[in-house]
Amino acid sequence: MDLLLKDKVILISGGAKGIGAAISKGLIEEGGIPVIIDPSPEGEKILMLANGKGLHIPIRLEQPEDAKKAVELTIEKFGSIHGIVNNAGANDGVGLENGSPEAFAKSVSKNLQHYYDLVHFSVPFLKKSKGSIVNISSKTAITGQGGTSGYVAAKGAQLALTREWAVELLPYQIRVNAVIPAEVMTPLYEKWLSSFPDPDKKLQEISNRIPLGKRMTTPEEIASTVLFLLSEKSAHTTGQHIYVDGGYTHLDRAL
Ligand code: NAP
């Protein structure tokens, strides 16, 4: 299927590693133009796959000015924005007992604020292109995880904002959807696994609980769904929360 993403300019926060990198590479395969907003130098290497077509903005989105700058640089270079993938984030383990009110506020802000900022500054351009927004959330927003209140609050808010923005942006034909992963092998996930005394055993335990195929979801499988949601091929899909998780969240994990 041709996703009709050729020459479409898509902002991808955290687009240099893990799930974001798979989205950037998938977009390049479709002939699209990724704008990779990520501090990692891996961003440059990904752009080489596109013969330099695209833009790497090597910053960490922290303050609203960062998102504003990313949007300005994109418009300066390409003149338009056709889509946004809000993806950057990290499960930072700020819980009730292992946290503090200050650490909670910081964790929520770190994982949520830039989702709003990128969309806020892009709306004028998305109105012109009738663009598409995809928010990457997490199954932890639905299932809970324990010990990570800040991250989960942000992930839940991203799902609420998906519906809220889908409504607010309806008049402009801008679509907004969320993709919800559960267990995906990425640099972030590997780091988390390595915190266990026997990472291989832990990985086996987790994989055994994933109903479809007893395996982790690949970053490319998340990317395929994201690219479809960015594409005009999903032109009548908005406000949806789409689980790409091998049945982890809804099917009986004892199966
Ligand atoms: P990852 O392997 O850490 O890759 C994320 C990339 O984003 C990294 O290059 C990271 O840079 C960058 N980044 C982080 N914060 C940023 C910011 N504020 N501005 C710009 N770049 C930033 O993470 P991932 O596992 O692919 O996760 C991507 C998304 O999927 C996250 O929203 C996460 O919550 C969600 N998710 C992942 C899983 C999973 O199993 N992996 C499950 C559910 C949901 P640094 O490495 O320098 O920080």
Encode pLDDT of 135-161 as tens digits.
999 999 999 999 999 999 999 999 999
How is 53-119 classified by DSSP, letter by letter? -SEEE-----SHHHHHHHHHHHHHHHS---EEEE---------SSS--HHHHHHHHHHHHHHHHHHH
Q: b/e for 146-184, b at 16 or more Cβ within 10 A?
A: eebbbbbbbbbbbbebbbebbeebeeeebbbbbbbbbbb
pLDDT tens, position by position, 177-215: 999 999 999 999 999 999 999 999 999 999 999 999 999
Q: Rounded to an integer, what distance in angstroms lies between the CA atom of residue 17 and that of residue 30? A: 19
pTM over 0.75: yes
Q: Does the structure show a pLDDT above 80 at 255?
A: no
What residue owns the CA closest to ligand 1's atom 7?
A: 14
Spell out the domain ranges in the chain: 9-182+219-244, 185-216
Question: Are residues 85 and 15 in contact, defined by beta-carbon separation less than 8 angstroms?
Answer: yes
Q: Rounded to an integer, what distance in angstroms lies between the CA atom of residue 224 and that of residue 27? A: 9
Pocket, ligand 1, Cβ cutoff 6 A:
13-14, 16-20, 37-40, 60-61, 87-90, 114, 136, 138, 181-184, 186-189
Cβ contacts of 189 within 8 Å, gap of 6 or more:
18, 183
Q: Rounded to an integer, what distance in angstroms lies between the CA atom of residue 20 and that of residue 232? A: 20
Q: What separation, in Å, do the N-terminal and C-terminal C-alpha atoms of the chain show?
A: 34
Q: Rounded to an integer, what distance in angstroms lies between the CA atom of residue 188 and that of residue 44? A: 20
Instruction: Estimate the crossing angle of helix 101-129 against helix 64-78, to 10 degrees.
Output: 20
Q: Rounded to an integer, what distance in angstroms lies between the CA atom of residue 99 and that of residue 181? A: 25
Tell me the percentage of the chain whose pLDDT exceeds 90: 97
The best mutation among 188, 191, 243 to test binding of ligand 1, ranked by most ligand atoms within 8 Å of the C-beta, falls on: 188
- For the CA of 140, the closest atom of ligand 1 is 43
Q: Give the H/E segment covering residue 242.
A: strand 241-244
**Catalytic pick from 151, 189, 243, 248?**
151
Give me the helices (H) in the chain, please: 18-29, 42-48, 64-78, 101-129, 140-143, 149-168, 187-193, 199-208, 219-230
Is CATH 3.40.50.720 correct for 9-182+219-244?
Answer: yes
Q: For the chain, give the mean pLDDT.
A: 97
What residue owns the CA closest to ligand 1's atom 41?
A: 184
* Burial (0-12, 13-18, 19+ Cβ within 10 Å), 65: exposed
User: What local confidence, expressed as pLDDT, does residue 26 receive?
Assistant: 98
Active site residue 115: no
Q: Give the H/E segment covering residue 134.
A: strand 132-136
Question: Are residues 55 and 35 in contact, defined by beta-carbon separation less than 8 angstroms?
Answer: yes
